[in-house]
Amino acid sequence: MPKLSVYNISGQPTGEEIELNEVVFGVEFNEAVVHQAIVMQHANQRQGTAATKTRGLVRGGGRKPWKQKGTGRARSGSTRSPLWVGGGTVFGPQPRSYDKKMPRKARRLAIRCALSAKVAAGEMVVVDGLAFDAPKTKNVVNMLAAFDAADKKALIITNGENENVELSSRNMPKVTALSNACLNCFDLLNNNKVFLAKDAIARIEEVLA
């Protein structure tokens, strides 16, 4: 079973080691499943509201511009033909849904792979008492500095929603704060350092094991 040392919020080791469930934090990386999960996440964030007007939606063009024969010009039936400036668009984007779905077991496997990859790479830190008394950006700055991660992209995972942690990190472009209920592959793999609240581990293992 993988083991990680536990630190306090000031970056000091507490002398405790925590055993992680191998089923969650020690699985082999499945690149195909992780890729599918990230593609699904990005696709589901798309609004799909892009739209263009076809010749039937463009205003005007009801009258034939000139007679069919005898003018020497090309035949034309509408000023809103796609061939004309101001005409309709052919095969342009229309509102659509980009939603993708994955089986629940595959989604959870992808998250287990991402968590295991961070543990194997030594990029996960277990923090005891990951909470702040007040929402201050300085709290997060000091914590990152204590772990030599001030200039790195960091992910903070709390036990449930923690408003003070979320508000403290919101002004920092390289820091993301999530509750353990909102784990996802992209945020786990897109950050160089993952700070995991000690009291959040039990719930993560309960859901993913």
Q: Which of 97, 119, 134 is nearest to 2 (CA)?
A: 119
Contacts of 78 (CB under 8 A, 6+ apart): 55, 61, 62, 64, 65, 84, 87
pLDDT score, position 92: 94
The CA distance from 173 to 83, in Å, is: 47
CB 23 within 8 A of CB 65: no
pLDDT score, position 130: 86
pLDDT score, position 191: 93
pLDDT score, position 11: 87
Any idea which residue has 């859901």 for tokens?
207
Tens-digit pLDDT string for the chain (209 aa): 788 999 999 889 888 999 999 999 999 999 999 999 999 999 999 999 999 999 999 999 889 999 999 999 999 999 999 999 999 999 999 999 999 999 999 999 999 999 999 999 999 999 998 888 899 999 999 999 999 988 899 999 998 888 999 999 999 999 999 999 999 999 999 999 999 999 999 999 999 98
CB 169 within 8 A of CB 195: no
Beta strand extents in the chain (DSSP E only)? 3-7, 13-19, 124-127, 154-158, 175-179, 193-197
Sequence-ordered alpha helix ranges (H) in 4-136: 22-25, 31-44, 104-120
pLDDT score, position 65: 94
Residue 43, SS3?
A: helix
pLDDT score, position 209: 83
The CA distance from 201 to 180, in Å, is: 8
CB 88 within 8 A of CB 54: yes
Is the CA virtual torsion 40, 43, 45, 48 positive or negative?
Answer: negative
pLDDT score, position 179: 92
